[in-house]
Amino acid sequence: MVQINWTFQAKADLKSIAEYISKDSRRYAKHQVYKIKNKTKVLKKNIFNWVGKFLK
């Protein structure tokens, strides 16, 4: 099973992104954080498909 570890810097960057967007809209800030986290989940599930493409 693949494990994706969020570094301290990545977490801080995500928080900064949310804070910046929330100046205009808290709703969209939460939505963007959700989208970013969801993309890492998709990456985690499909990592072997990506690796296979690079190894061929």
9-26 tens-digit pLDDT = 999 999 999 999 999 999
Domain positions in the chain: 26-56
Backbone angles phi, psi at 24, to 5 degrees: -100, -40
CB 32 within 8 A of CB 18: yes
φ, ψ (nearest 5 deg) of residue 7: -75, 165
> What pLDDT is stored for residue 3 in this prediction?
77
Structure confidence by residue, pLDDT tens digits, 20-45: 999 999 999 999 999 999 988 877 77
Flag whether pLDDT at 51 surpasses 70.
no
User: Quick one: pLDDT at residue 56?
Assistant: 52
**The pTM is what?**
0.70
Measure Cα distances from 44 to 1, 25, 47 in Å: 9, 29, 5
When comparing pLDDT for 24 and 49, which is higher?
Answer: 24
